[in-house]
Amino acid sequence: MAGVRDPRDLPLSEGDVNISPARAEWRAGLSDRARAALDEDERYFLRQSLSTPCLTEIVSAEGAWLTDVDGRRILDFHGNSVHQLGHGHPRVVEAIRREMATLPFCTRRFANPTATALARRLVETAPAGLDKVLLAPSGSAAVGMALKLARYATGRHKTLSFWDSFHGANLDAIGVGGEAMFRRGLGPMAPGAEHLPPLDLARRFFGDDRPFDRLADFIDYALDVQGDVAALIAEPLRWTTVAAPPPDFWPRVSQSCARRGTLLIFDEIPSCLARSGAMYACQRLGATPDILVIGKGLGGGIMPLAAILVRAELDCAPQAALGHYTHEKSPVASAAALATIAVIDDENLIARARTLEAHGLARLVAMQAKHMRIAEVRAFGAYFGVEIGGEDASEFADRLMYACLAKGLSFKLGGGKVVTLCPPLTIGFDDFDLALDRLEAALVGLGG
């Protein structure tokens, strides 16, 4: 059709290269039944990067496990970062069921007790000073609300954010985001959205001598030289490559922002709610933002739900439509979130994330000592990065991903060459070790 671009003209994703030769091989090895399911998927859904072609058809999910159409059992260390509690936690399912039977929907014009209770609970769990809340039906929508609020509160429109960062796929979110795959080919982005060198490439641009100090200096300068930046928005750690800055970085940047009247927005959509070994990752990184954006696991891994948690002084735009989403105060999603927070407390999942961190990191360090293909291992709470080295790192990492999938382990590749391992915080040590055994066996199988 005239005017429709050939998909091969579009940039490849920085994540799983889902049109790679390894993907074609994987597909060829699927059963007739699985292939037919994928054909049917592609027949009706618009094709898009990172989604098409799909890997297999999943028919059920429970705890840390997925089952596909051929009965293959897969440990889910991907989960799109929604499954702090594992899939289908019984308390979340029960809370959803109960709310559906009582108050399945409520418009924003009415208060509803479940959404109000959730807002109260979020304020109680938030870093001190973040006293007001808005809920949203997706992380990208919540990022949009945060950006709008920053404009209203400061009377400015410019933003600073990092190249290579991700803040969601909506048009406003990709304007502040920095991943080429989400931006290229789309024309003008939001005006005034200026970008900083990537957080996880500080060394490349600032050298080995205190690179994060130099990056912080650069940010201070960029804020100062303009003087009219509404907000600096960032993932406190680069999620897709598991790369956190040193502990003195964010406190310095936060002070620079405060001096220039620039709001600091942290996007903790994937890192919130115990995943990091703290309720919020920023609590381990020594800085409280003016606006904290959370999502993903907030809905218990079942309901789509996100939120912004905000300093009370920023409650300054009663005349404005900050969110205005149809499902903004969903009682059912709120019930799921309340149950999620209760499970985090009752099952001590913050401490559990730290235990998994120590155990997993020790095992990965031992693995690195044995396997030359592993260039670096990192952990931040129960979230791990295994960086593959070598000139063909991305190609090897791609083959490793399929080899692991064949053995029953699913994970996401970040930055093309970082194996990211995101287990449920509720996982048993036997399953956790089994996943790492499968990763190691796949490495051995590939001669790495």
Ligand X SMILES: Cc1ncc(COP(=O)(O)O)c(C=O)c1O
Distance CA 31, CA 19 (A): 19
Site string for ligand X, 9-38 (x = CB under 6 A): ------------------------------
Site string for ligand X, 225-254 (x = CB under 6 A): ----------x---x---------------
Q: Is 277 in the site for ligand X (CB under 6 A)?
A: no
Q: Which stretch binds ligand X (CB under 6 A): 27-35, 89-97, 139-147, 198-206?
A: 139-147
Per-residue CA distances from 344 to 130, 293, 349 (Å): 20, 19, 5
Nearer to ligand X, 238 or 354 (CB): 238
Please state the closest distance from residue 422 (CB atom) to ligand X, in A.
Answer: 11
Q: Is 328 in the site for ligand X (CB under 6 A)?
A: no
Q: Is 140 in the site for ligand X (CB under 6 A)?
A: yes
User: Which of 99, 172, 179, 267 contacts ligand X by CB under 6 A?
Assistant: 267
Nearer to ligand X, 92 or 141 (CB): 141
Q: For residue 231, what are the β-bridge partners?
A: 159, 263
Which residues, numbered 293-312, are part of the site for ligand X (CB under 6 A)? 295, 306
# chain residues binding ligand X, by CB under 6 A: 14
Q: Is 384 in the site for ligand X (CB under 6 A)?
A: no
* Residue 360, C-beta contacts closer than 8 angstroms, at least 6 positions apart: 379, 382, 384, 421, 432, 436
Q: Is 270 in the site for ligand X (CB under 6 A)?
A: yes
Nearer to ligand X, 119 or 141 (CB): 141
Please state the closest distance from residue 245 (CB atom) to ligand X, in A.
Answer: 15
Q: Is 99 in the site for ligand X (CB under 6 A)?
A: no
Nearer to ligand X, 75 or 269 (CB): 269
Site string for ligand X, 146-175 (x = CB under 6 A): --------------------xxx-------
Please state the closest distance from residue 296 (CB atom) to ligand X, in A.
Answer: 6
Distance CA 424, CA 63 (A): 7
Beta-strand relationship, 65-68 and 291-294 = unpaired
Q: Is 197 in the site for ligand X (CB under 6 A)?
A: no
User: Which of 15, 63, 139, 381 contacts ligand X by CB under 6 A?
Assistant: 139
* Residue 227, C-beta contacts closer than 8 angstroms, at least 6 positions apart: 260
Nearer to ligand X, 19 or 169 (CB): 169
Q: Is 179 in the site for ligand X (CB under 6 A)?
A: no
Please state the closest distance from residue 420 (CB atom) to ligand X, in A.
Answer: 11
Query: Which residues are near ligand X by CB under 6 A?
Result: 138-140, 143, 166-168, 235, 239, 267, 269-270, 295, 306
